[in-house]
Structure 1
Amino acid sequence: MKILVLANFGMGLYNFRKELLNELINQKNEVYISLPKDEYVPKLVNLGCQFVETPLERRGTNPLKDGKLLLHYIKIIKRIKPDVVLTYTIKPNVYGGLACRIAKTPYITNITGLGTSLENKGVIQKITLGLYRSGLKRASCIFFQNETNRKVFFDKNVVKSKTRILPGSGVNLAQHPFEEYPDNDEKDRFLFIGRMMKAKGVEELLQAAKTVKEKYPNSQFDLIGSCEEDYYQQLAELNKSGIINYHGQQEDVHSFIKNSHATILPSYHEGTANVLLESASSGRPVLASRVPGCIETFDEDVSGFGFEVKSVESLVEAIIKFIRLPYEQKKAMGIAGRKKMENEFDRRIVINAYMNEINNL
């Protein structure tokens, strides 16, 4: 079979879907990937994928450029003639879906999260919902990463096709093995992994770090991720004052997870938070917003703590609650998180679901 994968950037495709790509290639399929060129493309090509460069602005709202993207998708689908197209994230889902409808090509869609355009009510939400209705109309199967997201799409009359729930992107249990908990050195090291942007809860996190450091100066806040919005100056100032340690974009996040006592994610919305899956798989407790895409990744008071989204006060309470836990209880939470990942979030579950749907075609 020829399989075409439409995505918006290489990092996500490589970090969270390379096992699926490997499986498809190992089963003698020709796998094409369509995305903008970045540093992850050579790694994807080394897996055996054939690369089709595709200009795509992840956050752009220029209708002219989006129209060109649609025409580009139609062109490559007609040239490659894939047996099935797999799409991820909003623009590939919408415009890739429309292109597949026009070219009469089967396609399988993955809703990786609602995104800001759907979370915020107003004209943009209505436009986005309309685009989704058109793009998803003929999908062979639509994968959702949590039940809440699926309900939104049904309630808004966006989907009528077959749908299935996946455990997010799953987690590679071997790539993120269980790690012994750090020694009890009277210092709690908290880790944030994500893009520096408002929707990830960065503003609440920075404010909480200031508050907690005043009461618990031994606490440490490490932040990893690219700066996608204008937080450069604030991050630099807090880094200089010792409130946080900002490490920028890092290719190897596992070593940071290994050295931390807990991972924090104050995100406003997620499909399923990969950083929480990877942290729990490594045996680290997680502290996360009580929002769909986060709450599924931990059991309250067993493998993590939840807090109210957009609330600095609730976040501070969760952090201090964790700091005050006995060392052995923190360690036990990490062990419980690993077991949950093994039972519910193994990436093989995702691969098997995709292979099942592809074979059904």
Structure 2
Amino acid sequence: MTQPVLLVVTTVPETLNTILRYQPRFLAQALTDSLEVRIATSPGPGFRDVQDDEGLPVHPVAMARGMAPFRDILSILAMIRLLLRLRPAIVHSYTAKAGLICMVAAWLCRVPVRIHTFTGLVFPSSAGLRRRILMAVDRLICACATRIVPEGLGVKTDLQRHAITRKYLAPIGHGNIAGVDTHQFARGQASVTAAARGLATRFRIPERAMVFCFAGRLNRDKGIGELLQAFEVLPENCHLLIVGGLDTTAPINHDEQSLIAKHPRIHATGFMQDIRPALQLANILVLPSYREGFPNIILQAGAMSLPVIASDISGCNEVIKPGLNGWLIQPRSTSGLHAAMLAACHCPPATLAEMGARARLIVQSHFERSMHWRNMQAFYYAALPSQHLIEAPIGVSAEAAVPASLTRRPPASRLPSA
């Protein structure tokens, strides 16, 4: 019998080149006796890197970020053609647009198991017509999926509170979609320390400076406006390292871009393939987002023994505990952010070191990458359709039974329910 196919889908290659890097390759090896793993993502920058890193077949399906209904129809048609050719047993999509394209196409093609992971919700921070459209899209994704995975408990709560779906919801493991390799993300490695010194030299950051680091796309929902305002009135020994490229779909405004470019103590690195030197140079990570799913950057920072100042929102507040490994502030609050940053400035180095040590222990015990990958392996064993079920190998704790909804196909004449 031909081996069933697991198709992993993301909107753009960047997700596979950063957060999910090497996860498909691990799954292909771990599931080699039961599933053939393939990938679909948009062609463009980074596409060939995915092929090189994962060593798996990668299929190009163009998908546009943001609202683009006519292009989305073309993407759905392209995804249908791919699904009819591969006939996968399981499709698993990550990120919003991939979820829309993949779940609709997979439902139309009657793929037996259709999984979507919500890595964050946009509608809670939106308003008006845009909010209603985004909620409708999320309901459609849930209606077409047989299994919905919220990245964290906060995402699960929002999906339930806003009646997006009545289907079963549960994060995988402790949440997050990738985990962190705490051996790779460890403070003090010689090559990383040397690269951090290079950054300090490049930006003329004094050795005893207090360095705050923001890492992420320069998107208007990341709270960068509040961060810049809060930073400007901090003491002169403070520096701000901004890591990430401009998000063209929802960029920060021109004044904010100009301030980043001109301020003598604000240093923009652009996108960094390896973020560890920036985290090594920093004393504190700052993430004042309005919304998140379960941000990987706070786990990476924790693994690097960095305390974190973050918004009290889903994902962030599932990891950051005030006074233990960082500070939580109200989103959109410049004054609250400034107070937390000032408190960090006045913290004795020994206290910051203790907070950083606790942050690393939390990541090691709950979010180690190898642990998450094993959880993913068990998840897919449990999700296999009944005609492909095999006994999970020793050491893999699969779910006790596969819900009937995973294997039952909806009638062709009726739309699926959310």
Q: Does TM, normalized by the shorter one, top 0.5?
A: yes
Equivalent residue in structure 2 for 1:224, among 236, 240, 243: 243
Corresponding residue for 1:52?
Answer: 59
Corresponding residue for 1:171?
Answer: 180
Output one character per residue of 1:179-217: Cα deviation in whole Å (capped at 9) or x when no partner.
4899995421111101112100110111111111xxx10
SS at match of 1:64: helix
Counterpart code for 2:147: C
Output one character per residue of 1:161-182: Cα deviation in whole Å (capped at 9) or x when no partner.
3321142122222221244899
Distance 1:304 1:11, change over 3 A: same
SS at match of 2:246: coil
Output one character per residue of 1:209-253: Cα deviation in whole Å (capped at 9) or x when no partner.
1111xxx10111010111121546643444433131111111121
Matched, 1:64 2:86: no
Output one character per residue of 1:121-142: Cα deviation in whole Å (capped at 9) or x when no partner.
3222222222222322253321
For 2:183 and 2:47, the matched residues in 1 are separated by: 23
Matched, 1:249 2:271: yes
Matched, 1:90 2:112: no
Counterpart code for 2:243: I
Residue pair 1:307, 1:318 contacting (<8 A) in 2 also = yes
Corresponding residue for 1:16?
Answer: 19
For 1:69 and 1:155, the matched residues in 2 are separated by: 31
Equivalent residue in structure 2 for 1:7, among 5, 10, 20: 10
Residue pair 1:94, 1:136 contacting (<8 A) in 2 also = no
Counterpart code for 1:52: H
TM-score (norm 1): 0.92
Kindly report which structure 2 residues correspond to 1:6-155, keeping only aligned pairs within 5 A, or say none: 6-26=9-29, 27-28=31-32, 29-46=35-52, 47-59=54-66, 61-105=67-111, 106-115=113-122, 117-155=123-161
For 2:125 and 2:76, the matched residues in 1 are separated by: 24
Output one character per residue of 1:67-90: Cα deviation in whole Å (capped at 9) or x when no partner.
111111111111111121110111
Equivalent residue in structure 2 for 1:210, among 228, 232, 247: 232
* Structure 1 unpaired stretches of 5+: none
For 2:379 and 2:147, the matched residues in 1 are separated by: 7
For 1:227 and 1:238, the matched residues in 2 are separated by: 12
For 1:123 and 1:341, the matched residues in 2 are separated by: 39
Q: Which moved more, 1:137-146 or 1:76-85?
A: 137-146
Counterpart code for 2:181: N
| Structure 1 position 104, deviation (Å) | 1.0
For 1:2 and 1:194, the matched residues in 2 are separated by: 33
Matched, 1:279 2:301: yes
| Structure 1 position 318, deviation (Å) | 0.3
SS at match of 1:247: strand
For 2:255 and 2:128, the matched residues in 1 are separated by: 31
Corresponding residue for 2:389?
Answer: none
Counterpart code for 1:168: N
Q: Which has the larger radius of gyration?
A: 2
Q: Which moved more, 1:179-188 or 1:241-250?
A: 179-188
Distance 1:185 1:91, change over 3 A: closer
TM-score (norm 2): 0.80
Counterpart code for 2:231: A
Counterpart code for 1:17: L
Corresponding residue for 1:199?
Answer: 221
| Structure 1 position 57, deviation (Å) | 1.3
Matched, 1:322 2:353: no
Distance 1:102 1:118, change over 3 A: farther
* Structure 2 unpaired stretches of 5+: 198-205, 385-418
Counterpart code for 1:304: G
Distance 1:223 1:355, change over 3 A: same
Corresponding residue pairs, total: 356
Residue pair 1:19, 1:351 contacting (<8 A) in 2 also = no
Distance 1:238 1:150, change over 3 A: closer
For 2:65 and 2:336, the matched residues in 1 are separated by: 32
